[in-house]
Chain A
């Protein structure tokens, strides 16, 4: 595939991304660094130090980290089981995880509300069975549940993908050399699937960090996340400068996670599917 011409093939993408990714990004930079009258200011950026913004950011990081960890714990064994099911079911398995996304995101999240409410479906079933009620709606737990639910496929798919690409001979070699199941997993399987894990972590952590719909619907809007703050500034307060400033702060996290995934995944091997 080495040919002089192939370099030109990146031109459409380059032009496209300059026009529709970098220029808009620059506009956010511009808005983030000026005030309403167009004067340069760092106030928008520094407003992250305000106690309510810091608290919202802290809470967002905490909740999305918990959600990411839960996703990882759920997804890894799941992917291992699925990866053993046989090659010709690949596409089916992948589609089964994407399929829920064909139902609208908002409808799915609203459905969780109906399920979790005090007089909701789950509690009706529990009380029918004379079990204690589950009161997690409008608490951080419900938000975590919503995050895990919506982003779990983004964790399962890359891990599953790196597991099926795993060379079976390597595992057999480890076994032959006397490693037991746990050792094989820790020393061989897990390190080899690390790119998939990292890519999964990024794909779950970032959207969880910036979400506002989940915290509104399942958290009863009582819990302010940084996504809610940004959304409020853009849509309700019409303060785009402050919203842009805070978005720039969020981009720092994005850059960090991008950096992390390039370190662990030098060749961009951990695809989603």
Chain B
């Protein structure tokens, strides 16, 4: 009975630990791009995975960084443990205390402080800065694992070896090393795992175009995780799991024999050695396929995650011979400090409206020479006009994606017709409302509902908006950014505040969904290409922007991202009549009142918005 209970308990814990993993595995066979819907069984993502060069390159980087950083950390950590074991207990406590800092500090603090350090030392950001950061947070795990093994050592054996004439180094490798080896290996394994899983620190210390799997996954969050990622995770997991089973089951026959102490150690040893070797082999194989050639110089692009068809990049490289170094970010706010600090060199970025204004004010952008961008004529003049709200003379930016913010509702749950922000305060939809989890978007809704400007800096108006949002909070199911789409497709909520680009996609997946622009007015947002003041390849940057304004390329990107293109010529090329004439994708802006675009309100106003937002969130 007791035995059964024990087994049962272990089983429960394992179900708990592995349920999400099974979930991810199932999703990797899901023939639908959204996790909210089961679209039938497919192995297509696995095929797509191996053709996706960006993911393969990220996989290589991840393994390379994980292996190199954990090997170096293991060496430094082990040497340190030798020293620690000989120290007075006072100085040992101090050192172990320092050792604990990176492990216990919040990732974001470690990440930003390392970024500041690299900037002040004038390091160029790239693979090596990630390596330094990873070694730093890996060393503690090694020390934590090796140290206890030193405590268990019998010091007399080492003394004996010395007495018998062995040199200290020889004695170390013959006597001590075999005994601490299990600790070293588990420290290595732990370090490897931590390096594999890290995102925040990597994000702040990486250079342009160096992506790991984690940073790739996070930049994908905004547009929804690509199923290829589930497939890759499943492969990694399955490989390691099979390896483990193989290694642990194989020697099971010998179990009956008395296992000598030495033999015990060979088990994890073999396991780790085998794993490392196979990973190295796989990764070199992958990397050898990723040869590159540079001819016509390069251009370094910093764009939102999933915001450009990779096919378009290939065409550009083929046509011009210019190599594109492509890097992605998740939010305007994550992008800004990297640009401002000059941590990494970029030529082109794609910020949103208010951020462009801020970057102009901070003198980070270069004026664009429009004589080099003849294709600007394809851009709808309405959007050039709208851009003047943040770029008054149309000197710094070329619109790339545009859209509105509106309400997406599920007709099977909402029977009335919706035309006002007021519905978000309607009690009958309690727990069925999804709000945007960003300061400006949330305040935009409240300010517009109250009839104020969404760029208000009037404290009384902001206070009213805050009260309205606090009143609304109990009715909201969640504040979300990227998951509105998946949740609405999956019938999780009845009403959601959403970007028009996501609305088109959501309707394709769930036909009950309807999108409206409320009558009180809303935000017209514009993401535009800008060239940075210190761009090393300004000419190539202009060529790239001109290329993106070509109708066929703009169309290609529209079909890939589903966010509306301001490119009027591209719109004419859309074959599907419903989409070409879609009021969601291409609204006639003159029909609506009170449309506005976000402006940069200055540091003081930003501070007020953020403080009020925290008050709302903490209620």
Chain A residues engaging chain B, CB cutoff 8 angstroms = 1-3, 5-10, 12-14, 16-17, 19-25, 27-28, 36, 51-53, 55-56, 74, 77-78, 81-82, 87-92, 94-115, 117-119, 121, 138, 149, 152, 161, 165, 202, 206-207, 210, 212, 216, 220-222, 224, 227-240, 243-244, 247, 250-251, 254, 257-258, 262, 266-273
Does B360 sit at the interface, judged by CB under 8 A?
no
Chain B residues engaging chain A, CB cutoff 8 angstroms = 6, 9-10, 13-14, 16-21, 23-24, 27, 35-36, 76-77, 79-80, 82-87, 89, 92-93, 95-102, 104-110, 112-114, 116-117, 120, 132-133, 135-136, 139, 141, 144-149, 151-153, 155, 158, 168, 176, 183, 186-187, 189-190, 193, 196-197, 199, 213-214, 217-218, 221, 225, 229-230, 233, 236-237, 240-241, 244, 248, 251, 255, 259, 264, 267-268, 271, 331, 333-334, 336-337, 437-439, 473, 476-480, 483, 487, 490-492, 603, 606-607, 610, 613-615, 617-618
> Which residues in A have their C-beta under 8 angstroms from that of B267?
88, 90-91
> Which residues in A have their C-beta under 8 angstroms from that of B476?
220, 222
Query: B24 contacts A111, CB within 8 Å?
Result: yes
The residue from A3, A24, A236, A250 contacting B106, defined by CB atoms under 8 A apart: A250
Query: B264 contacts A9, CB within 8 Å?
Result: no
> Which residues in B have their C-beta under 8 angstroms from that of A258?
97, 100, 104
Query: B230 contacts A102, CB within 8 Å?
Result: no
The residue from B18, B24, B85, B480 contacting A107, defined by CB atoms under 8 A apart: B24
> Which residues in A have their C-beta under 8 angstroms from that of B336?
238
Knowing A95-B244, A99-B244, A237-B606, the reply to whether A10 touches B145 (Cβ < 8 A) is: no
The residue from B82, B93, B106, B187 contacting A210, defined by CB atoms under 8 A apart: B106
> Which residues in B have their C-beta under 8 angstroms from that of A92?
244, 248
B67 to chain A, nearest CB (A): 14
The residue from A23, A152, A232 contacting B117, defined by CB atoms under 8 A apart: A23
> Which residues in A have their C-beta under 8 angstroms from that of B259?
87-88
Closest residue of A by beta carbon distance from B437: A221
Query: B95 contacts A110, CB within 8 Å?
Result: no
Knowing A21-B136, A236-B610, the reply to whether A104 touches B213 (Cβ < 8 A) is: yes
**Cα–Cα distance between A248 and B222 once the two chains are bound (Å):** 31
Knowing A25-B113, A91-B271, A119-B491, the reply to whether A99 touches B76 (Cβ < 8 A) is: no
Closest residue of A by beta carbon distance from B613: A232
Query: B13 contacts A78, CB within 8 Å?
Result: yes
> Which residues in A have their C-beta under 8 angstroms from that of B241?
99
The residue from B190, B337, B615 contacting A98, defined by CB atoms under 8 A apart: B190
The residue from B84, B186, B617 contacting A228, defined by CB atoms under 8 A apart: B617
Query: A55 contacts B117, CB within 8 Å?
Result: no
Knowing A81-B10, A247-B106, the reply to whether A102 touches B237 (Cβ < 8 A) is: yes
Query: A78 contacts B9, CB within 8 Å?
Result: yes
> Which residues in A have their C-beta under 8 angstroms from that of B113?
24-25, 27-28
> Which residues in B have their C-beta under 8 angstroms from that of A240?
112
Closest residue of B by beta carbon distance from A122: B19
A179 to chain B, nearest CB (A): 19
Knowing A10-B80, A21-B136, A236-B333, the reply to whether A94 touches B186 (Cβ < 8 A) is: yes
Query: B35 contacts A114, CB within 8 Å?
Result: yes
**Cα–Cα distance between A89 and B259 once the two chains are bound (Å):** 12
The residue from A51, A111, A233 contacting B20, defined by CB atoms under 8 A apart: A111
**Cα–Cα distance between A59 and B189 once the two chains are bound (Å):** 34
B214 to chain A, nearest CB (A): 6
> Which residues in B have their C-beta under 8 angstroms from that of A10?
79-80, 83-84, 87, 95
Knowing A13-B139, A89-B248, A262-B93, the reply to whether A103 touches B237 (Cβ < 8 A) is: yes
> Which residues in B have their C-beta under 8 angstroms from that of A273?
145, 183, 186-187, 189-190
With most chain B CB atoms within 10 A of its CB, the pick from A16, A24, A81, A267 is A24
**Cα–Cα distance between A155 and B404 once the two chains are bound (Å):** 47
| Besides A117-B492, A119-B491, 5 new A-B residue pairs in contact (Cβ under 8 A), listed by A number | A109-B20, A221-B479, A230-B106, A236-B439, A243-B109
> Which residues in A have their C-beta under 8 angstroms from that of B483?
113
Closest residue of A by beta carbon distance from B62: A104
Knowing A221-B480, A232-B614, the reply to whether A16 touches B136 (Cβ < 8 A) is: yes
With most chain B CB atoms within 10 A of its CB, the pick from A1, A89, A231 is A1
Closest residue of A by beta carbon distance from B268: A91
Query: A236 contacts B331, CB within 8 Å?
Result: yes
A127 to chain B, nearest CB (A): 13
With most chain A CB atoms within 10 A of its CB, the pick from B87, B95, B117, B603 is B117
Knowing A20-B132, A114-B35, the reply to whether A6 touches B86 (Cβ < 8 A) is: yes
> Which residues in A have their C-beta under 8 angstroms from that of B135?
16, 20
> Which residues in A have their C-beta under 8 angstroms from that of B193?
98, 101-102
With most chain B CB atoms within 10 A of its CB, the pick from A90, A113, A271 is A271
Knowing A98-B189, A101-B197, the reply to whether A36 touches B477 (Cβ < 8 A) is: no
**Cα–Cα distance between A227 and B105 once the two chains are bound (Å):** 11
Knowing A78-B9, A110-B35, A230-B109, the reply to whether A6 touches B82 (Cβ < 8 A) is: yes
> Which residues in B have their C-beta under 8 angstroms from that of A56?
614, 618
The residue from A25, A100, A238, A266 contacting B101, defined by CB atoms under 8 A apart: A25
Query: A106 contacts B478, CB within 8 Å?
Result: no
Query: A110 contacts B225, CB within 8 Å?
Result: yes
Closest residue of B by beta carbon distance from A138: B478
Query: A13 contacts B95, CB within 8 Å?
Result: yes
Query: B114 contacts A24, CB within 8 Å?
Result: yes
> Which residues in B have their C-beta under 8 angstroms from that of A118?
492
B264 to chain A, nearest CB (A): 6
Knowing A113-B483, A117-B490, A272-B141, the reply to whether A234 touches B112 (Cβ < 8 A) is: yes
Closest residue of B by beta carbon distance from A77: B9
With most chain A CB atoms within 10 A of its CB, the pick from B16, B149, B478 is B478
> Which residues in A have their C-beta under 8 angstroms from that of B333?
235-236, 238
> Which residues in A have their C-beta under 8 angstroms from that of B271?
91, 95
A64 to chain B, nearest CB (A): 13
B385 to chain A, nearest CB (A): 29
The residue from B139, B197, B480 contacting A220, defined by CB atoms under 8 A apart: B480
